[in-house]
Chain A
Amino acid sequence: AQKVTQAQTEISVVEKEDVTLDCVYETRDTTYYLFWYKQPPSGELVFLIRRNSFDEQNEISGRYSWNFQKSTSSFNFTITASQVVDSAVYFCALTRYNQGGKLIFGQGTELSVKP
């Protein structure tokens, strides 16, 4: 069975601090995709990144970076120099290679960035 665990329920930081959101997954598949989505207070989920299981290179996009480690089944997300606008619930998700839209989500981490 596939499972995604986000052990941090809530995180609170002060603006400009760096913050890392943890994600651990379980799957027996050798080929799969991992995702991060952001859910602001308005409710819609916003796609941030997709990573396939064959690509363990770290990814950086502006203030966002992702660390994928198959050895520990983790796909952590770091926000550098956090801003108030980063306040949201962040979800890590997993899908089988041939089931692109059937995302298995973690429970989410609520990030609060205070000015």
Chain B
Amino acid sequence: EAGVAQSPRYKIIEKRQSVAFWCNPISGHATLYWYQQILGQGPKLLIQFQNNGVVDDSQLPKDRFSAERLKGVDSTLKIQPAKLEDSAVYLCASSHRDSGELFFGEGSRLTVL
């Protein structure tokens, strides 16, 4: 069974530029999550989708971050414009149910200069 796929693995941009990350969850997993992991910290949930609907985006900085999950399968997380403090690893995860047993991708590491 293929795992959660994410791309790109690494991205370096300058502040005020934009960036997009892509995630393809495990086949059949209805729930998809984006987490932000700043160096030295635990991951923090940004947004949760159930199929193509948003369940929780309370911690998503909506002035600069956006995410979508068209057709209820893969998802895109966008940051525009990026700030220095957005430097982090963006982890995508999926689960069959909202059970907490999440399957994570390897993450997309963003460096904002």
Contact = CB atoms under 8 A, between A and B. Distances in A.
Say which size band chain B's interface belongs to. 20 to 34
A35 B101 CA distance: 9
A45 B48 CA distance: 17
A42 B105 CA distance: 10
A21 interface: no
A107 B31 contact: no
Contacts of B91: 43-45
A102 B31 CA distance: 11
Q: Which 6 A-B pairs have the closest CB atoms?
A: A105-B42, A100-B98, A45-B104, A100-B100, A43-B106, A43-B107
A45 B45 contact: no
Interface of B: 3-4, 31, 33, 40-45, 48, 56, 89, 91, 93, 95, 97-107, 109
Interface in A77-115: 91, 93, 95, 99-103, 105-108
Interface of A: 4, 33, 35, 42-47, 50, 91, 93, 95, 99-103, 105-108
25 contacts: A4-B42, A43-B106, A43-B109, A44-B91, A44-B105, A44-B106, A45-B43, A45-B91, A47-B101, A47-B102, A50-B101, A93-B42, A99-B56, A100-B98, A101-B45, A102-B45, A102-B48, A102-B56, A103-B43, A103-B45, A105-B43, A106-B42, A108-B40, A108-B41, A108-B42
B106 A101 contact: no
B77 to A, nearest CB: 16
Contacts of B4: 44
A45 B103 CA distance: 7
Contacts of B104: 44-46
A50 B98 CA distance: 13
Nearest to A33: B100
